[in-house]
Amino acid sequence: MHTNKWNALHAFSRMALLEVENLCTEFRTKDGTVTAVDDVSFTIDKGERIGVVGESGAGKSVTGLSILQLVEYPGVITDDSSIRLNGEDLLAKSEDEMASIRGNEIAWIPQDPLSSLNPTSTIGEQIVETMRIHGYGDDENDRRQRAISLLADVGIPDAANRFDDYPSEYSGGMRQRVLIAMALSCEPSLIIADEPTTALDVSTQAQIVNLLRDVTSNDTALMVITHELGLVAELCERVMVLYAGTVAEKSDVAGIFDDPKHPYTKNLLKCSPHLTMGEELNTIPGSMPVGSERPSGCQFHPRCSEAMEECSVVEPELLPDGDGGEVACLLHTDQEYNMKVDQP
C-alpha cells in the first residue's frame, strides 16, 4: 500500500496538464488496419516526469506523435479519442494552431540527434531558428543571447564560441544536449523525449539523465519514451507500460520496481541492462504481434509464462491494482472474469 499516500499528495499538489483519453491510432494500410495505439488513457500533471515503456512496436512513439498530431499517413486518430492540454481539446485545433502548440507548448526531442540536426547550419542558428519559427523573443539579438545561455545551461562549454560550430563538430552527447536546448528554447509546458539516451555511452547517458531531471521542473513536464526501465527508475515519477498498443500497467516508479504486477513488466525488468547489474540479461521469448494480426484475449498471453486458459479468451481490463496503480491482467482481478469465461 506504499503508493496511496503518494497518490493522495499528488492529487492535492498538482494539476493535470495533459489528459489523454481512449486514444486509438490506426494505420489503415492496404493489408489491413494496424492498431498501433489501442484505447490508451493517461494524464501528465504540471511539472511531472512520466516514463512510457515497452519493447519496439509497443506504440510508444505513435502515442507521442498522436499528442502532437504528427502521425504519418496512413495513420488516423479515431473519433472516440480525446487529447486535452490545459483543458483545451487538441484534436479540435486547426493545423495552424497545432503548429503553434508544437514547440511553444509541447516540444519533441526526436530519437536520433544526428539526423535531426541540419548538417549545413550552425548549432546556434538552428536554436535561434526554432525560436524564430515559434515567434519567441523580440529580436534576433535576444534570440542569439538566449541560445548561448541555453547552450551553457545544457552544459556546452564555451557556449558563445561553440554557437557557430556545425553539428559534425559536436560529440553525440553534445548533440543530444543541443536537442534538449532546442526543446527548452520556447519554454514549453511539456517535453516529449523519444529514447533520449539511445546510442550514448553509459557515462554520457547518466549526464543526459541528470540534465533532463534538472531542466524539468514545476513549469516543464517530461514524457520519456523508452524501452529501458533503468532510465525510468532514474528519471521518472510514474510509469506507463505499453504492450501491443495497450496499457499493461501504470504505477508510480517505486511500485513498478518493488512490486511489479503484470508479467510483461516483470519480464521487462529482467531485460533491463541497468537493473540487472551484471546478472544474466534475459530476453522475452517470442515477439510482439505485428501488423493487423492480433491474438484474442490478452495481447501478451502467447508469450506469458503465467498465462491461464482464460487469458486467450478474455481481454483484461485495466483495473486498480490495490496498491495505487492499475494493471490489465487476469491474475490480478477477481473471479468476475473466470465466471464470464465459464458461462456458455
Ligand X SMILES: Nc1ncnc2c1ncn2[C@@H]1O[C@H](COP(=O)(O)OP(=O)(O)OP(=O)(O)O)[C@@H](O)[C@H]1O
By the criterion CB under 6 A, which residues form the site for ligand X?
Answer: 27, 29, 34, 36, 54, 56-62, 72, 75, 227, 290
CB of 73 to ligand X, least distance (A): 7
Q: CB nearer to ligand X: give 35 or 130.
A: 35
Q: CB nearer to ligand X: give 54 or 137.
A: 54
- Amino acid, res. 325: G
Q: Is residue 315 a contact partner of residue 326, using CB atoms and an 8 Å limit?
A: no
C-alpha cell recorded at residue 77: 486518430
Beta strand 82-85 with 16-29 is antiparallel
CB of 34 to ligand X, least distance (A): 4
- C-alpha dihedral (236, 219, 88, 85), degrees to nearest 10: -20
CB of 66 to ligand X, least distance (A): 9
Distance CA 117, CA 99 (A): 19
Q: CB nearer to ligand X: give 7 or 111.
A: 111
Q: CB nearer to ligand X: give 70 or 319.
A: 70
194: left (phi over 0), alpha (psi -120 to 50) or beta: beta
Tell me how far CA of residue 47 lies from CA of 10, 83, 194, in angstroms. 12, 18, 18
CB of 54 to ligand X, least distance (A): 5
CB of 240 to ligand X, least distance (A): 12
Instruction: List strands edge to edge, sheet with 319-320.
Output: 106-109, 190-194, 221-226, 49-53, 238-243, 246-252, 326-327, 319-320
Q: CB nearer to ligand X: give 69 or 338.
A: 69
CB of 51 to ligand X, least distance (A): 13
Residue tagged 486518430 (cell numbers): 77
Q: CB nearer to ligand X: give 65 or 186.
A: 65
